[in-house]
Amino acid sequence: MNGAQALIRTLVNSGVDVCFSNPGTSEMHFVAALDSVPEMRAVLGLFEGVVTGAADGYGRMADRPAATLLHVGSGLGNGFANLHNARRAHTPVVNIVGDHATFHKKYDAPLDSDLESIARVVSGWVRTSSRSEDIAADSLDAIAASYGPPGQVATLALPANVSWSEPAVPLGPRPFPSRTPVSDNTIDTIAQVLRSGKPTALLLGGSATRERALMAAGRVASASGTKLLGETFPARLTRGSGIPAVERLAYLAEFTMAQLAGTQHLVLVDTRTPVTFFGYPGKTSDLIPDGCQVHVLADGGDDAELALEHLADALGSPRDSAIVATASRPDRPTGALTGETVAAALGALMPEGMIIADEANTSGLWAPMATAGAPPHDWLCLTGGAIGQGLPLATGAAVACPDRPVVCLEGDGSAMYTLQALWTQARESLNVTTVVFANHAYGILEFELRQVGAVTGGEQASALFDLTRPELDFVSLAKGMGVPASRSDTAEDFTLQLERALAEPGPHLIEAIVPRSI
């Protein structure tokens, strides 16, 4: 057995049985070895940003890592931005990056570059495997590292000759490190804070925005009156009817400050203190109100779910006392198609178990509100701010959860970064409906230009936000990659098209012609 075969067998033995792939020459033995381990599913992406974003979406939904197969430093570079987002999401990902044969490195051949240096920027763990005999142990270490806790990107560089050499022996699974229970002392201290009668809030992030954690947080809220806040861009927020509602912090600093105003104790649960996304002239970056004390219930390595349950118990909150969102849906919208009516259509139609990959930026502001009372669903956000995440993320989520419908809410500007994901959706017959908000602008940038005080009416500056020359035609683009697509410019049409797309298996794309919203 060669190194590649042992590697793939070891991955599969540990439950890593999906590999999002964009291979090159250095990975040919890995590719050949796939047929000797049929349990491994290789999913081809036409660009590495698709591969890494899909691994992020998969990891968020499956709670175990997918592997990626990337080609040398430049392939890793192409996948960098979505690995950055995965890093911020604490998603477990195992990157396998093929490299030149060890004997070939000294020649600094044209494709060679310093792979490990790029990898280190986005990975919590990096290693180059140097012998076929070590590859199984190296890959187990990579898998273990990817689990953290918290989850992280682990990158294993795989020289071509380590892949093709013998001998190599696969290894079985080993127990991966689990989260640390939070001490009773910490829980008692936080319980006391929440009993103080002062205005308090829990800020939930990371592993604390899933159903089990939220049910416990809801019990904490009902017993103590504390506010439940969520990160601005959670990796995976479970929400909908029957689940305690979390108020996500706003992107805009002025709004966040209003949300936090008066809070005297802020309790962090697997998240960090809130800061502005960017620094702005004359504005503070730190969003904690003056005089507010910050406490940590659980950090990334802690068992936040258990801590919240213990906290609810410490507060004497009964098991079924959580206040939850009630079922409600907006009516099917009529009239003009806008960010708001698209949101209403989604709220009116959303089936149970839907997964939303949200990269709609300015046009998507209304979607969370319109779906707050919809059947339970998961909302996946742009954790790291590197656009080009939505379509790949939806792709990976659909691979992880073939029985759950996925909707990707996508801005037209950001759609163009990793549009190649549509082809993978078609190839794998994934149940993903992509809604592209076609406002023909980098709306967020027009907004930010004003935010940073760089007021300009100038032609060159405005031209850089303008996507009308020429207008992108997403129906043709989708068709070019084998995804059925339609266009709508009224709320009625959009609702019908969305209804049809959700009813039919396989991927669809709807280009929603909307005005600029902010």
Interaction of residue 26 with its own copies, rule CB under 8 A: yes
Residue 109 to residue 72: CA distance in whole angstroms: 12
104 interacts with its own copies by CB under 8 A: yes
Helix (H, G, I), strand (E, B) or coil at 201: strand
Q: Is 21 in the site for its own copies (CB under 8 A)?
A: yes
**9, 29, 127, 248: which one contacts its own copies (CB under 8 A)?**
29
Sign of CA dihedral 382, 493, 344, 403: negative
Amino acid at 53: G
Residues within window 249-278 making contact with its own copies, judged by CB under 8 A:
275-278
Nearer to its own copies, 248 or 310 (CB): 248
Q: Check residue 166 for interaction with its own copies (CB under 8 A).
A: no
Q: Is residue 405 near its own copies by the rule CB under 8 A?
A: no
| Least distance between its own copies and beta carbon 410 (Å) | 14
- Least distance from its own copies to the Cβ atom of residue 378, Å: 20
Beta-carbon contacts of 165 under 8 Å, excluding residues fewer than 6 positions away, are: 2, 3, 131, 132
Distance of CA 169 to the CA centre of its chain: 34
- Nearer to its own copies among residue 369 and residue 464 (C-beta): 464
Site for its own copies in 480-509 (CB under 8 A): 480-482
Q: Does residue 379 belong to the site contacting its own copies (CB under 8 A)?
A: no
Does residue number 44 form part of the binding site for its own copies (CB under 8 A)? yes
Min dist. Cβ of residue 481 to its own copies (A): 7
Which residue in 118, 208, 397, 399 binds its own copies (CB under 8 A)? 118
Asked if 75 touches its own copies (CB under 8 A), the answer is: yes
305 and 210 in contact (C-beta within 8 Å)?
Answer: yes
Q: 34 vs 501, which CB is nearer to its own copies?
A: 34
CA dist 167 and 169 (Å) reads 7
CA-only gyration radius of the chain, Å: 23
| Helix H or strand E encompassing 21 | strand 18-21
**Phi/psi at 98 (5° precision):** -65, 145
Question: Which one of residues 169, 461, 496, 502 is an interface residue with its own copies (CB under 8 A)?
Answer: 461
Among 3, 13, 16, 23, binds its own copies (CB under 8 A): 23
Taking Cα atoms as reference points, which of 56, 386, 61 lies closest to residue 238? 61
Residue 353: Cβ within 10 Å count: 14
Residue 58 interacting with its own copies (CB under 8 A): no
Question: Under the criterion CB under 8 A, does residue 438 sit at the interface with its own copies?
Answer: no
**Residues 77-96 close enough to bind its own copies by CB under 8 A:** 77-78, 80-81, 84, 88
Q: How far is the CB of 34 from its own copies (least distance, A)?
A: 4
Please report whether residue 474 would count as binding its own copies according to CB under 8 A.
yes
Report in angstroms how near the CB of residue 307 gets to its own copies at its nearest: 24
Q: Tell me whether residue 176 or residue 277 sits nearer to its own copies (CB atom).
A: 277
Q: Rule CB under 8 A: is residue 20 a binding residue for its own copies?
A: no
Candidates 233, 366, 437, 494: give the one binding its own copies (CB under 8 A).
233
Stretch that binds its own copies, among 119-127, 332-340, 355-363, 494-502 (CB under 8 A): 119-127
- The C-alpha atoms of residue 488 and residue 335 are separated, in whole angstroms, by 12
Beta bridge partners of 157: 97, 128
- Residue 489 CA, distance from chain mean position: 29
Take residue 14 and report the two structure tokens written for it.
Answer: 């540990």
d(CA 159, CA 138): 13
The rounded distance, in Å, linking the Cα atoms of 221 and 176 is: 33
Give the nearest distance from C-beta 383 to its own copies in angstroms.
7
Contacting residue, 117, 183, 189, 326, with its own copies by CB under 8 A: 117
Does position 31 bind its own copies by CB under 8 A? yes
- Should residue 70 be labelled a site residue for its own copies when binding is judged by CB under 8 A? no
Of 85, 110, 108, 112, which Cα lies nearest the Cα of 97?
A: 112
Whole-angstrom distance, CA of residue 311 vs CA of residue 171: 40
Residue 282: left (phi > 0), alpha (psi -120 to 50), or beta? left
